[in-house]
Amino acid sequence: MKVPYIVDIKENSLDDGIGIRSVIFFKGCALKCVWCQNPEAQNVNPELVYQPKNCIHCTPQCFVHCPNDAFNYPNMVLNRSVCILSQCCTIDCPADVFSVAGKLYTVNELVERFRSNMIFYRNSNGGISLSGGEPMMFPEFILNLIMRLREINIGIAIETCGLFPLNSQTKKILEQVQFIYYDVKIMNSNKHIQYCGVDNVTILENLKQLVKEGLVTLPKNNSELKIPASKPLLVPRIPLIPHITIKSDNLKEIAQFLKSLNISLIDLLPYNPLWIEKAHSIDHPVSYPRDSWMNDKEKLSAASFFKGFKFDTFVI
């Protein structure tokens, strides 16, 4: 079984589905979206996170520990090409200048961790959200985890980019979850390759298949977004990325595609620029230049575009 690294577990989230949720961010994604909000979750392997601005210039221990002299103090130069991720630099640094994105957990450890939150999940209709990265890259592990969480009545939501083989194993995963948040980003396949690194053929085909085979429930509006439902509730998510996804021809094609599947409720995810600092800390390329938040006008314009096509938008 491929055991995934996990970059973070966010507790008490109110932004990743209904109710109070714990969100697991798996490390690894087959897409490489240029605006990716979690760049540290793209690579499947652990990565050194380096934040030199945190340095308080204590008696420096960091370079003393590094077996490969990858770090130069006081110049604060990190040579990643010789870093072997021994993590020695993380041992004594009192300022979190060095840390590692990517930690292994067993299914047991995760289940025990979440068991203590059960009362919050139950009282709020919340549960666990599987996010990333792309959780469906690790089907055996997440199926195992989901089955164990279902045994103790913890509800699951999954956030997916849609790029996975739709087979008996992944269908079994989807059958067990309560909510599926399914990304639809760019309809033109060449543009999808340009901005996300791969084409969108499987992503769109999987969504069509899930609907065609009746494997999901499509809530018409927010009031239908209730559990228990006989099948997982599917809500497409559209990231609002200035100059890329929110171009009117793309929005129009998305609206027409979703309408053709009888989908009426969607979730709009406004761009946020916080990823840029995370990207710098792992030396991840920053090719998308927008470093400011979306303003209300941009958000309202996208929302009213979809309202014009009679979509309801998801409200947490």
Q: Which positions touch ligand SF4 (CB under 6 A)?
A: 29, 31-33, 36, 38, 41-42, 55-58, 60-62, 73, 92-95, 97, 132-134, 161, 196
Please identify, using beta-carbon distances, which residue of 107 and 161 lies nearer to ligand SF4. Answer: 161
d(CA 137, CA 77): 34
Q: At what angle do helices 139-151 and 107-115 cross, to 10 degrees?
A: 30
Please identify, using beta-carbon distances, which residue of 117 and 206 lies nearer to ligand SF4. Answer: 206
Beta carbon of residue 54, minimum distance to ligand SF4 (angstroms, whole number): 7
Please identify, using beta-carbon distances, which residue of 63 and 305 lies nearer to ligand SF4. Answer: 63
Please identify, using beta-carbon distances, which residue of 67 and 94 lies nearer to ligand SF4. Answer: 94
Beta carbon of residue 130, minimum distance to ligand SF4 (angstroms, whole number): 12
Local structure of residue 262 (DSSP, 8 states): T
Beta carbon of residue 268, minimum distance to ligand SF4 (angstroms, whole number): 15
Beta carbon of residue 203, minimum distance to ligand SF4 (angstroms, whole number): 9
The answer for residues whose C-beta is within 8 angstroms of residue 21's C-beta and 6 or more apart is: 12, 13, 14, 121, 126, 127, 128, 129, 157
Please identify, using beta-carbon distances, which residue of 61 and 144 lies nearer to ligand SF4. Answer: 61
Beta carbon of residue 125, minimum distance to ligand SF4 (angstroms, whole number): 25
The answer for residues whose C-beta is within 8 angstroms of residue 245's C-beta and 6 or more apart is: 185, 186, 238, 239, 251
Task: DSSP for 232-258, please give it.
Answer: -EEEEEEEE-TTTTTSHHHHHHHHHHH
